[in-house]
Structure 1
C-alpha cells in the first residue's frame, strides 16, 4: 500500500466513525429544537455557525453514507429555513448555503444566491472580481481569504461560471502581492481555489513575450535563471555595464488567455540632491518641513523655504503625507535627516496616530517607520527635530516601500537645508 492509499484508508476509518456520531448529535439537537413546535412543517431557526457547517460537511458523504428517513425529515426543515433566510447571512454563510443547497438538490435556490452574490460584486480589470464588504473582522466568518476561496468554489460548482471564477482568482493573486495570508487555513483554501477551480493556469508555458528596449530578453539570460516549478516565476537581474538608455522602455505581451503578473524596479546610485520625486505610484509619500513657533494662540507652523532660512536652536516639525491607492501590509518608510538636525524623541516606540499604527525607530541618519498594514487612503505623520549646526546641508530623501513587492515604492525629491 502506497502513502496515498494509506491516507485514504485512514480518512475512511475516521469518516466511518465520525459521520454516524455527527448524525446522532444533529438529531439530538433537532429534537430539542422542535420540542415546542406544534406544527411539524413549521420553519425552525438555522444557526449558520453550526447547522450549515454540519449540512455542508454531510453533503460530501451523501452517496457513501445515505441519510436515514428521520435525518431526511430534519435536514429538510433546516434547508427550507436556509432558503428563506439566506439574505440575512454574511458573505461566507451565503457561499456555504449555496453549496449545501445545491448538493441537497435545491439547485434553483442555490442559483438565486449565486446571482445575488454576482450582482453585489465589484469587477475591475486590475483586481478582478471581489466584494468590498469582504473585510477582516472579529468573528470567524469575517476572514477575507477563506471567504473568497469558498465563493470561488460556490461559483464553480453551482453555476459552472468559469469566467467569474477566473476573475475571482485574479483578486486572490493580487491580494497576495502586497498582503500576507495570515493562517495556514487561509493559505490552504486559497491554493486549493487557485489550482482546482476555473481555467488551468499552470498548463500554459512560455506564453509571455518581454521586450526591453528594441530587443527581446535573450534566451541566454532566461537560461541563466531557472524558472520556479509550476508557477513559471522567474527573476532577472542586470549588472551596471549591461544597462542601456533604451532599456527604459519595456513591452510585455501575453499570448494566452491566462493572466500573469510581475513587477519591474530599477535600483541605482545617485547624488541625493539630484533625485526627483516619484509621487504618482500606488504607494507614495511627500515631505515638508515647518518651523514651529510659540505664540499666544499656541504652536504655529511656518513652512520653511529658501527665503526664511533656519537658525541654530530652532524647532522644526517634519510632516510626512502618505497616500495609498490600495490596502497594503508590511510597509517600511525611511525618512533621512540632515546632519544639522537632532531628533527630539530618541526613544523607539509603537505609536497610533491619524488612524495609523506604526513602530517608530530613530537612528543616526534617518527615522524609520514600520507599518503592519496601511489601508487605502491618505495619512499624515508629524514629528519634531531640533537645529544644532549652522551651514548648508543635504536633507536626503524619504522612501516608502512594500516589503512584499519592491515594485510598490516611492520617494521624495532631494532637498537642501540652510541654517544661519
Structure 2
C-alpha cells in the first residue's frame, strides 16, 4: 500500500510521467539510431533496435541520449558475441561471480576438496564439487543463476525443489545441461553456492560457465571466466 501511495503522489505533480509520446533521440557515434519519428509500442513507448556482425561500428560505444521533455526514460544496450569458453574472461555489472571445480577425496582426516586445474587427473566415478561465489552490490529481486556443466559430468542430486543456503532462499532446478537457481530476492552481500557432480565419461572437455542475471533488469548481470 505504501508503494502505491508513493507512486500516486509522484503522478500528482502535474507532469505526464507516463506519457509515451516523448521525443527521445539516441545517437551512437555519428549515427541517429532512434528519433521522434520511429514507431514505438503503444502504451509503453518501447522500441528495440538490433545490429548484427559488421553492422556494429567502433563509434557505437559513444552513446548520447536527449529528450524534448523533462521526464523519465529507461533503456539499456547489450553487446553479445560468441567465443570459445577458454577465451571468456569474467565480467559483471553490479554483480560478480567466480566458479571453481574441486575433486572430493577421502583422507585420514575425512573428506577433502582438491582444486582441479589443467593438470589434474579426474577419472570416472570421481565426485566433483562446483563452487560459485557471488557478490551483489545492492538488493536484487528475481535473479537467475545458471551453471552450465560439461558433458562428462552428471549431477549427484537430481531432484529440483526449494532450498535455503548461506542466507538466501531459492528454487533449485536440474536441467539436461545446466543447474539453475531462481531467487525471488537476493540481498546485498556475498554468497557461496555448491553442488556435486559425478564424472561419468572419459575425454577432454571444457569446464562450463556460470552466469547470473536479473530477470527484469538484465543490465545487472555477471558471468565467470571460461575453463
Q: TM-score range by the shorter chain?
A: 0.7 to 0.9
Counterpart of 1:339 (choices 137, 145, 151) is: 151
CA distance in 1, matches of 2:137, 2:34: 35
1:262 corresponding residue in structure 2:
75
Name the stretch that deviates more: 315-324 or 387-396: 387-396
C-alpha deviations, 1:211-257, integer Å up to 9, x for none? Answer: 213322254xx64531544x6x3221214257313254032344565
| Larger strand fraction of residues | 2
Pairing of 1:241-320 with structure 2 (within 5 A): 243-246=55-58, 248-254=60-66, 258-279=71-92, 281-320=93-132
| Closer, same or farther: CA 313–330 of 1 in aligned 2, 3 Å | same
Contact 2:147 2:211 in 1 (8 A): yes
Provide the aligned length of Structure 1 versus Structure 2.
225
1:409 corresponding residue in structure 2:
221
Contact 1:272 1:394 in 2 (8 A): yes
Counterpart of 1:210 (choices 26, 33, 37) is: 26
Contact 1:347 1:362 in 2 (8 A): yes
Secondary structure at 1:391's aligned position in 2?
A: coil
Counterpart of 2:40 (choices 216, 226, 246) is: 226
Contact 2:25 2:34 in 1 (8 A): no
Name the stretch that deviates more: 196-205 or 350-359: 196-205
CA distance in 1, matches of 2:40, 2:16: 22
Q: CA deviation at 1:355?
A: 0.2
CA distance in 1, matches of 2:110, 2:14: 62
Contact 2:103 2:126 in 1 (8 A): yes
1:399 corresponding residue in structure 2:
211
What TM-score, normalized by structure 2, do the two folds share? 0.86
Which ranges of structure 1 fall in alignment gaps of 5 or more residues? Answer: 1-144, 147-185, 416-420
Q: CA deviation at 1:366?
A: 0.6
1:235 and 2:53 equivalent? no
CA distance in 1, matches of 2:128, 2:225: 19
1:4 corresponding residue in structure 2:
none
What TM-score, normalized by structure 1, do the two folds share? 0.49
Q: CA RMSD in A?
A: 2.6
Contact 1:225 1:234 in 2 (8 A): no
C-alpha deviations, 1:43-64, integer Å up to 9, x for none? Answer: xxxxxxxxxxxxxxxxxxxxxx
Q: CA deviation at 1:297?
A: 2.4
Q: CA deviation at 1:275?
A: 2.7
| Closer, same or farther: CA 200–364 of 1 in aligned 2, 3 Å | closer
1:75 corresponding residue in structure 2:
none
1:113 corresponding residue in structure 2:
none
CA distance in 2, matches of 1:238, 1:215: 14
Pairing of 1:49-128 with structure 2 (within 5 A): none
CA distance in 2, matches of 1:354, 1:224: 48
C-alpha deviations, 1:100-121, integer Å up to 9, x for none? Answer: xxxxxxxxxxxxxxxxxxxxxx
Whose relative contact order is higher, 1 or 2, with alpha carbons under 8 Å and at least 6 apart? 2
1:371 corresponding residue in structure 2:
183
Name the stretch that deviates more: 406-415 or 260-269: 260-269
Q: CA deviation at 1:322?
A: 1.3
